[in-house]
Structure 1
Amino acid sequence: MSATAAFSWARRAQILAILPLCLAAASPAAAADIDRGRYLVEALTACDNCHTPRGPDGYQREKRFSGGSQTFKGENYSVRGPNISSDEATGVGAWSDDLLTAAIVAGVGPEGRLAPAMPSEYYRILTARDRAAVIGFLRAAPPVEAARPAQRRDGEQKASSFPGAETPFEEKDLADPLRRGFYIATLARCMECHSGETNGALDHKEKLGAGGKLFRTPAGTAVGANITQHRTAGVGAWSDAEIEAAITRGVGRDGNPLKPTMANLSKAHFSKMSREDTDALIAWLRTIPPREGP
């Protein structure tokens, strides 16, 4: 039995209930711009970071989208990025456009709400065209058969939201540089790494961009930097060129490489960002009020 046929009617009802949030996703076969989808995935959303296995030299491209190497753990879950290739048996090849849309922008999968490691709260902002483009690109990628990783989810997973990204943007929003900058920052999940925390949870209201989140990687420990407009604690005194170098080349103001995970994301993904999007992102970052954290 296919993954789609195995869905219970209860799960179907749950998915249908959240589809108004997605609006009516256009059919990728008819509307998606595959190149646009590739750009969104490779330069901004960085889907490979969670869904493609890694080797000594980086992503294993021959196994692209077949499932990630890292395990994400929380109080009531332990998961790895699953296979999102177009393989029908072990990936999402048998999923409808609506089911894929629900997983991407609402965090609802075949077995209920996905673990918080899936950052759907940042993807709800996707325009209808961009949602279709991402789905079209994933469908166009080669199918890769891979065993499904073990997943543990205890109890109901909480749904999160990111202020300003609760509903999809319209294409006209992207014509405004600051709105476009917020769109880019949201898809790239800048504030997921660079906002401060209160009681162990990201605090986008009081600590937006203030940094302080701790990252433990095989290369060591790093702390999310303050990217507010504070002139000493943040990037208020940085030039646009210095901010661009940090984003797209992973190089700090002192000329030294930044630590992972920013260094990895810059090299593998943000280096592919267009000039228009880079400029818009920097312009939006300039609007973040100065805060002294972390």
Structure 2
Amino acid sequence: MRKALIAVTLALGTQWASAQSSDASTVERGKYIATAADCAGCHGENLAGGAAIASPLGPIYASNITPDTRTGIGGWSEEQLRDALRKGRAPGKGWLYPAMPYTSYTGISDADVSALYAYLQSVPAVNHEVRATDLGFPFIRPAMIAWNALYLKEGHTAGEKPALGESAERGRYLVEALGHCSACHTPRGVLMAELPEQHLGGAFVGGWQAPNLTNDPSGLGSLSDQELKQFLQKGHNSGAVAGGDMGLAVSRSLSHLGDSEIADIIAYLRQVPPVMTQTLPAAPSRPARVDPDTVEGPITGWRNLAINATTDGAVLYQSACASCHGVDGTGTAGPDLGRLRDLRSAHPNNLVQVIAGGINLKIDGRHILMPGFRDQMNNEQIAALARYVRSTFGQVPGSGPDEQEVTSILSDKTPVSWLINYAPALAWGAIAVLVLLVGWVFARRKA
């Protein structure tokens, strides 16, 4: 009897240890899913939300997804989380806006939803009331029912493409479902749905240009696998530095993936049907040399720019940029400007954004920092500096921007169709016409 009792006790102990190990592995898998899905990119490193996500319709506030029962998702069931991820519907909110990329997350597997739920319920709860999103009429949440009927295919990510081979298939899952890359890198149509025929072909988001991710020469076709790997893991290579939201995606998500996952992502991106966009001019063999003795101006340091009215791009460059990028742009502490893709792009958006806002990238204990000059330069000066570096070091002739374009870029607005732009006026106009029509019909019947 005693031996039997000991055997039962040992068996129960083994089962308990196995369950504990299984629970721990599920939570660890969920942490990986949350990292690959870049949840922290919008909801913050503590996942308590509150950040305003810029959208063409107005700010959308990222919700608290910690297990706080009052302000977070502590009262949610796993099924409710699954509905939020796959159907865009959440308790207390109703229909979500696709700033929460459920058109991509809808492809997340059942097992990974379960793991993500376990992880989100395990993180520290934060009592943080997030401001309610109000986009105004007609962009009310119930309107998403019609939008979802048109554009959401539950279980199938937006614009998904087939993949050949196990590595590319794993990469497809990381790119299309978890990474939701298409949310920024795919152009959108009249009603702001992604255009499948231009999948990952590049788009404009919040004043930035999200580049073409297809294997066309105008996209990733001109980059080697090693260059792409370095950018995804480190946030920079010889031709690019990640800024803005892409910098956050690298620092909080992509840099935490392993070599095998990065290889899978690259394998899939190489198979995405190419989309041709405007090809970058080749990097100059050597940037034009600049003699600092020929640059005249009263500015002696970048901190003095705010009190100086010069719009001479050369003077601005020597004062604000030369200490890191070199007098001739070949780089010292900073990169060689002639090799930067954003400097040679047909669109100056990213260059303007970096000049204004700088770079602040923390990866693997290393801090890549470039100061922004929005407080030291006005928009006319930023335009002059952008024109100077594009023409001098990128050797892109006649390349803007002017002051008006800089103002537009720094407004962080995403271009939208005329229908979306005038939707409130059109909606109220339609209601007025309907009221008049009903009144006319009623008057005729009464007569």
Q: Structure 1 pair 161/276, CA: closer, same or farther in 2 (3 Å)?
A: farther
Partner of 1:98: 79
1:148 lines up with 2:117 in the alignment? no
Q: Could you report, residue by residue, the CA deviation over 1:173-196 in whole angstroms, capped at 9, with x for unpaired residues? A: 998222111100011011222123
Which of the numbers 194, 201, 210 marks the counterpart of 1:210?
Answer: 201
Partner of 1:235: 220
Which of the numbers 243, 258, 266 marks the counterpart of 1:282?
Answer: 266
AA in 2 matched with 1:215:
G
TM-score normalised by L of structure 1 = 0.74
> What pairs up with 1:37-116 in 2 under 5 angstroms?
37-42=30-35, 44-52=36-44, 59=45, 64-75=46-57, 78-110=59-91, 111-116=93-98
Q: Distance in 1 between matches of 2:154 and 2:214?
A: 17
Which of the numbers 99, 115, 128 marks the counterpart of 2:110?
Answer: 128
AA in 1 matched with 2:49:
G
Do the aligned partners of 2:42 and 2:62 also contact (CA within 8 Å) in 1? yes
Q: Distance in 2 between matches of 1:120 and 1:112?
A: 14
Q: Structure 1 pair 215/100, CA: closer, same or farther in 2 (3 Å)?
A: same
Which of the numbers 183, 186, 196 marks the counterpart of 2:173?
Answer: 183
Partner of 1:139: 121
Q: Structure 1 pair 161/273, CA: closer, same or farther in 2 (3 Å)?
A: farther
RMSD: 2.7
AA in 2 matched with 1:129:
A
Q: Distance in 1 between matches of 2:77 and 2:47?
A: 18
Q: Distance in 1 between matches of 2:165 and 2:215?
A: 24
Identical positions, percent: 25
Aligned residues: 242
Q: Could you report, residue by residue, the CA deviation over 1:29-83 in whole angstroms, capped at 9, with x for unpaired residues? A: 96971111111112x111112212xxxxxx4xxxx122132244454x7430111
AA in 2 matched with 1:230:
D
Which of the numbers 220, 229, 232 marks the counterpart of 1:247?
Answer: 232
1:268 lines up with 2:252 in the alignment? yes
Q: Could you report, residue by residue, the CA deviation over 1:113-148 in whole angstroms, capped at 9, with x for unpaired residues? A: 112211111111111211111100000001110123
Q: Distance in 2 between matches of 1:32 and 1:270?
A: 21
Helix, strand or coil at the partner of 2:220:
coil
Helix, strand or coil at the partner of 1:121:
helix
Helix, strand or coil at the partner of 2:223:
coil
Do the aligned partners of 1:195 and 1:212 also contact (CA within 8 Å) in 2? yes
Helix, strand or coil at the partner of 1:177:
helix
Q: CA deviation at 1:276?
A: 2.0
Helix, strand or coil at the partner of 1:145:
coil
Unaligned runs of 5+ in 1: 1-28, 53-58, 168-172, 217-221
Q: Structure 1 pair 198/90, CA: closer, same or farther in 2 (3 Å)?
A: closer
Answer with 191-200 or 207-216: which moved more. 191-200
TM-score normalised by L of structure 2 = 0.50
Q: Distance in 2 between matches of 1:202 and 1:244?
A: 29
Helix, strand or coil at the partner of 1:140:
coil
Q: Structure 1 pair 161/242, CA: closer, same or farther in 2 (3 Å)?
A: farther
Which of the numbers 210, 234, 242 marks the counterpart of 1:224?
Answer: 210
1:197 lines up with 2:181 in the alignment? no
Q: Distance in 1 between matches of 2:219 and 2:164?
A: 27
Do the aligned partners of 1:180 and 1:280 also contact (CA within 8 Å) in 2? yes
Partner of 1:35: 28
Helix, strand or coil at the partner of 2:200:
coil
Q: Which has the larger radius of gyration?
A: 2
Q: Which one has the bigger helix percentage?
A: 2
Q: CA deviation at 1:97?
A: 1.5
Q: CA deviation at 1:200?
A: 6.5
AA in 1 matched with 2:216:
H
Answer with 135-144 or 206-215: which moved more. 206-215
AA in 2 matched with 1:50:
C
Q: Distance in 2 between matches of 1:258 and 1:108?
A: 32
Q: CA deviation at 1:165?
A: 2.3
Helix, strand or coil at the partner of 2:260:
helix
Q: Distance in 1 between matches of 2:182 and 2:157?
A: 15
Q: Distance in 2 between matches of 1:106 and 1:200?
A: 18
